[in-house]
Chain A
Amino acid sequence: MKFGVVVFPGSNCDHDCYHVLKDALGQDTAYIWHKDRSLDGCDCIVLPGGFSYGDYLRTGAIARFSPIMNEVEGFAKKGGIVIGICNGFQVLLESGLLPGAMRHNDSVKFVCKFVNLKTENIDTPFTNRCNKGQVLRIPIAHGEGNYYVDDNTLKALNKENRIIFRYCDKNGEVTPDANPNGSLENIAGIVNKPGNVLGMMPHPERCSEPVLGFVDGKLIFESIIGWLRKR
């Protein structure tokens, strides 16, 4: 089993994802340069957070044209596991692998803090180690995490159980106060229709080691590892 962490120019959580997968979870992990045209036999692709191409035009808008994204799209269409975190989620939206778009946070400010996430669907490669409705404490760090999608797609996302995480309070209530960025229906993470591509704004790699005091993020990586192992 091998993980590949894509490095776009301006990615800055690539080292963090690599560190957690390799050093904290002991997985075979490789960096994949954005100009490469091979996924190097990886079983799971991580599109990390950061500011690909500075996000000067629109978050993720340039990165989706990197040569490696052709490979990632092909891999995803064949059912390969892809997780996009923060900027990685934005790249997935721009590339059309996931529906919807990101707007600026309703505060029009970057926000970095811990939030609570309600796990809405545990029958996925990414959440099978969680309990239904489990509240995860995970940090966010973004300026554009205000998820938007048209009504019909939103209905479909709900109907097909594709909304995996919603921002909630510490008791698991999904309330407007618990929404840190104005995201539609408090959406923090969604999957594609077949369920093999996850995009999420919060950063599980930032809370996956006991030394840092928070470990809920590990559940997500362990879910993927467990799922790949069973396959």
Chain B
Amino acid sequence: MAKKKMITKDIYRALGLRDDEYERILKILGREPTKTELAMFSVEWSEHCGYPRSRKYLKLLPRKGRYEVLVGEDAGGIVVGDTAIIFKMESHNHPSQVEPKQGAATGVGGIIRDIFTSGARPVASLNSLRFGELTDPYTRYLLRGVVDGIQFYGNCIGVPTVGGEIYFDDAYQGNCLVNAMSLGIAKREDLARAVAQGTGNPIMYVGSKTGRDGIGGCSVLASAEFGEGDAKRPTVQIGDPFTEKCLIEATMEALKTGYIVGIKDMGAAGLTCSSSEMASAGGCGMEIDISKVPRREEGMEPWEVMMSESQERMLVCVKKGKEEEVAEIFKRWDLEGVVIGYATDDKKVRVLHEGEVVAEMPTACLTDPPLYDMPYEEPAYIKEVRRFKPSNIKEPSDYNKVLLDLLASPTITNKAWVYEQYDHMVQVNTAVYPGSDAAVLRLKGSKRGIAVTTDCNGLYCYLNPRVGARIAVAEAARNLVCTGAHPAGATDCLNFGNPEKPDRFWQFKNCVESLAEACEYLNIPVVSGNVSFYNESPNGPIFPTPTIGMIGIIEDIDKRCTANFKDDGDLLFLLGECKDELGGSEYLKRIHGVKAGDAPECDLEIEKRLQEACLELIDKGAIKSAHDCSEGGLVVAIAESCISSEGEEKGAAISVPEIGFRKDSYLFGETQSRIVISCSPRERERVKKIASSHKIIASEFGKVGGDSLTFEISDKKVINIALKDLIKAWRGGLKKYVS
């Protein structure tokens, strides 16, 4: 190894390492690291892999719930009956901002590998997206590119994209968010682990060849803010969904043989992460010879091979003597399958290149990154936004116009332009399609269904991180409940600004603490997750956005419930209460251009009772539709139930007595813990009885039917819109903004 001093400050800083971290590396090794070693440390200790800044708070997240919880190396899950449901959400924000199509595509590919590397066949994907305003041409380019990337990858690999959400706000201008979630199914006993074990067991490289794409993707691109005029495109990986599809099938086949000791995908930091983490998880060492790694480019340096984030590759530890059989399976699918090393007993990762040792270090030091206690302080803007006085907002004179404007606004409007580009039906499990509160999948061979959703309102989290994060959990659970599913488990994707800045870290700390409390209260384990810091551009930080992905279980899928009204003459009830809350609403933002106030309150005790009431109503077959009130408030929720099912649109007539506060706040305020339900008239008493047994107010306030939506407050019509005009405003959807 080199004796002369080779590593300068510029070199390690360019890799994202701090001065004190470099000092620590010198101490661990007792010498100067090689370039390859330095590269390995830089990725393993980056926030993306090692969570040095966030770990302290991530430990707070609960791991227990209704069902047995599995926390694996790459993803986690729950066990229902003898079925393991494995799921995880991950960000691909920076790559998507730089190169939207490939950034989003490889985000999908990466999260899907995290699922099938655990032995679970991926059965569904979701995407939670945030962009700047669509008035900006670059935002439109991003939206088109991201959706194109998701459809390009997701459709080809045959995993349905069944749901997700999209928000538009200036806060994401310059730094969009692309959070991809995937879930998979396996028999409990068929799960695989990401370990290397058994001295002498061969380590195989399978999948695609290695190139120079994505070098430094996680340590450089994902671990710094966007500055002006950056040229980071070469750090984005290129996706090949066809190869991934073959890799899924080959991996599933290989796992069935029983010859696989452990398997891990090469995601962030490629070979570096997979080799050291498999060795560390298995409590052993590993020696690999990277001259044996299949390449698609000539002349790659050892550190480039170790750092490459070329896609569609896995590392596999195989039972000794079975390497030929395993290689045969991958070759049958026209994939690479070569032995590049073996497990050792010295607890060291040793990397050879053409007979020379280019890296050698204890596995423990790589997978035991530093832990920082980051300083935090309340940001100055908090006091500013709390000064908001609703009395300064003039009540509109034409509520029809407000409703139509909201229904046509980018965040609320119909998203068919997006989800119709995604194959959301392949694998023939989708029983509730995108566009409802949550997607529902049937579980083949059982009566059960799985409901799945993602949620987070970043504006709420900006105004009040504690309440905003609580609402993200409560609303995700409520979405599931509206389909009849019991919330069973969550994954989180924590998108924040630069953690080195105390005001940003204050947002992070408060959001995560609150997430933990809310999940604990609602008995929802957080089984997996991802942290994405440094989401800032010259425009400033994004809204704090702790996206929640959540799954729920429906015991009898035939009882599933949807959001749309079903039959003329059905009664409408509101479960829950309306309060005078305007802060953080889409109405304030879109109609008045104000992003201020406080987030709406969210009382978890009420929320829990509301959800239990709704679940009982659905389970007993008392109601025909359920839809929660979220962005746009009560009237938008009702309008969506009127028109969300194409070709089966229904009118509705609502009448409420004197409300005692501002009409706009009643109609469009975003008070939490409310669900609009409909039922047959003969179920009236049963609905009231069930609701009251959970101490939830169920107010009958209207009827389904007619060819318009009308809303009366103390006998005065404030809204009266023909169904066809509602449809026109909403169904035009995102298409009109992007084409």
Contacts and interface: CB of A to CB of B under 8 A. Distances in A.
A205 B430 CA distance: 13
Contacts of B624: none
Interface in B426-471: 426-428, 430-431, 442, 444
A15 B557 CA distance: 21
A209 B158 contact: no
Interface string B316-354: 000000000000000001100000000000000000000
Nearest to A20: B428
Interface in A3-36: 9-10, 12-13, 15-16, 19-20, 23
Interface stretch (A47-55, A126-134, A150-158, A183-191): A47-55
A12 B158 contact: yes
A205 B428 contact: yes
B442 A211 contact: yes
A51 B155 contact: yes
B423 A110 contact: yes
A206 interface: yes
A196 B158 CA distance: 28
B420 interface: yes
Interface in B508-566: 557-558
Contacts of B246: 9-10
Given A16-B427, A54-B156, A9 B558 contact: no
A15 B421 contact: no
B245 interface: yes
Given A12-B157, A110-B151, A212-B431, A51 B242 contact: yes
A164 B419 CA distance: 29
Given A12-B245, A209-B428, 6 more contacts: A10-B156, A13-B158, A53-B242, A141-B423, A206-B425, A211-B431
A37 interface: no
B240 A203 contact: no
Interface string A30-64: 00000000000000000001110111100000000
Interface string B221-251: 0000000000000000000111101100000
Given A111-B420, A170-B647, A16 B245 contact: no
Interface of A: 9-10, 12-13, 15-16, 19-20, 23, 49-51, 53-56, 109-113, 139, 141, 143, 170, 203, 205-206, 209, 211-213
Contact of A141 (B157, B425, B557): B425
Contacts of B416: 113
Contacts of A56: 242
A49 B160 CA distance: 14
B354 to A, nearest CB: 34
A210 to B, nearest CB: 9
A144 to B, nearest CB: 12
B51 interface: no
Given A211-B557, A212-B430, A212-B431, A10 B424 contact: no
Contact of B426 (A16, A23, A211): A16
Interface string B133-168: 000000000000000000100011110000000000
Contacts of B156: 10, 12, 51, 54-55
B172 interface: no
A110 B421 contact: yes
Nearest to A15: B427
B424 A54 contact: no
A143 B444 CA distance: 28
Interface in B150-201: 151, 155-158
B245 A51 contact: yes
Contacts of A10: 156, 242, 245-246
Nearest to B447: A211
A62 to B, nearest CB: 10
Contact of A203 (B421, B425, B647): B425
B399 interface: no
A10 B423 CA distance: 15
9 residue pairs, one from A and one from B, having the closest CB atoms:
A12-B158, A54-B242, A51-B156, A141-B423, A16-B428, A112-B423, A206-B425, A110-B421, A113-B420
